[in-house]
Homo-oligomer: A and B are copies of this chain.
Amino acid sequence: MTDTLIIGTIGLDTIETPFGKVEEVLGGSGTYASFAASFFSKPALVSIVGTDFPKHHEAMLIMRGINLSGLQRTGKTFRWEGMYEFDMNEAKTLKTELNSLLDFKPSLPEEFKDIPYLFLANVDPDIQLAILQQMKSRKFTVLDTMNYWISSKKEKLLEVIKNVDLLLLNDGEARQLFGTVNLVHAAKQALALGPQYVIIKKGEHGALLFSDGKHFNAPGYPLEVIKDPTGCGDTFGGSLIGHIARTKDTSENNIRKAIIYGSAIASFNAEGFSLQRLSSLTPEELERRFHEFRTIREF
């Protein structure tokens, strides 16, 4: 039974990195997040695609057990073109075609309104807020966003933040949103808005969890080959809500474990373009890497 609801985008990505170029591959925050969540729980993805969206992509998501009954279809699918320079730290957006995303109606199917675990992946804060208002019995909500919304819809975004349990930001976004370079200060400001937890993602440097009086520092995984970091943040968030839904445990201790699962999945994701690597990932490989995260931080 579906226990995890994910709201996010589905898109066709054209990506260039120092390791190659791919055209119109499956991407989008909702795609990456739900694919990652499917390693842990039974996710439903609410999103929108165009009538041109390839059937085999949809089939692949359904094969992973992702409920697509809330998928809307109209016009042309959202497209994104980006490239990564040598240091692979940040995508440079070359082109964005919103297309059908502009028609995304955030109205939930009735049967989704009681799903307990919700991940608002990166979409317009207006949509995120509209979704929150329709949910009837949320147990735990994770929110992701991006610099674009911090610049263009800060007030609306703050309103969303006040209504979630866990806020995900990367370090640059945290600094931007709270006007401080010190991540501890940024996290405190975030917690003061309402969320019980704040996670600051730092790419190759790992992630930081802040909650009332507690702090957890998750290591980055020492990857030798980073082919394509697209979707790492989304798979991190999807794993997080997936692990929480699977365990029905929102204690700080369990959020720590969820972060390590998220870091493990994100590290695999970076090893290939699009969902290449995650498509072949086995539960045994995942557990092995989870365990490796323990060994690299023991002292």
| Beta-carbon contact of A260 and B222 below 8 Å | no
Q: Are B297 and A184 in contact (CB under 8 A)?
A: no
B206 touches A217 (CB 8 A): yes
Q: Which chain B residue shows the least CB distance to A254?
A: B299
Question: What's the number of copies of this chain in the assembled complex?
Answer: 2
Which residues of B are found within 8 Å of A257, using beta-carbon distances?
A: 299
CB-based contact A222/B184 at 8 Å: yes
**Selected contact of A216 from candidates B184, B217, B297, CB within 8 Å:** B297
The minimal Cβ–Cβ distance linking A190 to chain B, given in whole angstroms, is 14
Q: Is A242 located at the chain interface by the 8 A CB criterion?
A: no
Chain B proximity of A201: nearest CB distance (Å) = 12
Chain A interface size, as a band, is: 20 to 34
Closest B residue, CB atoms, query A257:
B299
Tell me, yes or no, whether A192 is within 8 Å of chain B by CB: no
Across the interface, A181 reaches (CB within 8 A) one of B87, B217, B218, B296, namely B87
> Which A residues between 269 and 285 are near B, CB-CB below 8 angstroms?
none
Q: Which residues of B contact A222 (CB under 8 A)?
A: 183-184, 208, 215, 217
A-side interface residues toward B, CB under 8 Å?
86-88, 181-185, 202, 204-206, 208, 215-220, 222-224, 226, 253, 256-257, 259-260, 293-294, 296-299
